[in-house]
Chain A
Amino acid sequence: MSTLELSMDDWRATVRRSLDDLALRSLGTQVALTDGEAPGHPWAAWVPLMSVHDSLRLGLLANPEGCQQLARTFVGDEAELTESEVGDALGEILNILAGCVKRDVADRLPGLRIGLPIFLPHSTGGPVQAGNTRTAGGQSVETDVTWLRVSDVLTGLILVRYHHEGG
C-alpha cells in the first residue's frame, strides 16, 4: 500500500475520531458503539471524499424519526423540521465530519477533495451490507457498517471505500 492511500481500518479509525469530536462539539453528546439492526426504510445522507487512488463515500443512516432528532439537535431547534430541512442539516453534519477527516489525514492524503453532500430519504434499496466487491473495471469496493448511538439515535455509520489496485 502506498503512502497515498488508507486502509479501511485507517478510514474507520479517523472517521470515528472525527465523529466523536463533532458529536461532542455540535450535538453536545457522546457516541457509543451498539448492536444495530438496519431500519427497514432508512433515510441516508452521503458525502464523497476523493483522492487519486483512494476514495471514500461516507454515509449516515437512521430511520426518519432518528434523522429528525439528529437534525433538530444539530440546529438547536425544538420545532419539527421539514424533510428538506432535515436533509440540509444532515448534509451539513456530514460536511463538517468530512472536513474533520480531511484535516486528520492531510499528511497522508494531501490532495483529498470533499464533494457536495446528498440526502436520500425514502430509500427503497435493501439494507446496506458490509463486504467486498470488485467492479468490472478492476476497482475494489469495500463497505463497512458500524452501528452507533448518537444523541440516543440508532445511527448507521457507513464507509464505502473505492480503491484501484496497483493505482
Chain B
Amino acid sequence: MRFLIVDDSKAMRNIVMRTLRQAGYGDHAMDEAINGERALFAVRTSPPDLIFCDINMPEMGGLELLKSMREEGIGVRLGFITSECTQEMISSAIAAGAEFVLTKPFTPAGLKSALSKVLP
C-alpha cells in the first residue's frame, strides 16, 4: 500500500510519517507533496492508495485538492490532518468526501483509530 502525505510544513510531514510508523504502518511506502497542486500532479501520474492531507496550504488547499480530484473522476481516498478542526470544518470535509478528519496534535493511537475505519 502507498500513502501520500500532503502538508506545506516539512516538520509536519515528518511527524505524520513517524506517527504512521509508530502506529504500525511502517512497511507501507510513503510519498510527500508540499501542497494540493503538487499532490494533484502526483495523483494523476501515480495514484496512491490513501492521501493524508492538511487543509490550509498555499497554492492549493486540501479541500480544493479533494474537489479537484473528484471533478476529474479520481477516486483516491483522502483523510485530513489539520489544526483547524471546528465542527463547521469537519462537516465541510466530510461533505466533500473525506474519509476522516484528524486534529493536530495527534497520537499514534488516534491515527490508528482513524485508519481502522478506512484500511482493511
Residues of A within 8 A of B (CB): 22, 25-26, 71, 74-77, 85, 88-89, 91-92, 95-96, 98-100, 102-103, 106, 110, 114, 116
Contacts and interface: CB of A to CB of B under 8 A. Distances in A.
B58 interface: yes
B67 interface: no
29 contacts: A25-B107, A26-B105, A75-B11, A75-B14, A75-B15, A76-B15, A77-B14, A85-B11, A88-B9, A88-B11, A89-B11, A92-B9, A95-B9, A95-B83, A95-B104, A96-B104, A96-B105, A99-B82, A99-B83, A99-B104, A102-B84, A102-B86, A103-B85, A103-B86, A106-B87, A110-B88, A114-B83, A116-B56, A116-B58
Interface string B56-73: 101000000000000000
A102 B11 CA distance: 22
B10 A106 contact: no
B113 to A, nearest CB: 15
A25 B84 CA distance: 17
A110 B10 CA distance: 30
B60 to A, nearest CB: 14
A114 B9 contact: no
Interface of A is mostly: helix
A68 to B, nearest CB: 13
Contacts of A106: 86-87
Contact of B10 (A76, A88, A114): A88
A116 B55 CA distance: 12
B85 A114 contact: no
Given A88-B10, A99-B83, 14 more contacts: A26-B105, A75-B14, A77-B14, A89-B9, A92-B12, A95-B83, A95-B104, A96-B104, A99-B103, A99-B104, A103-B86, A106-B87, A110-B88, A114-B83
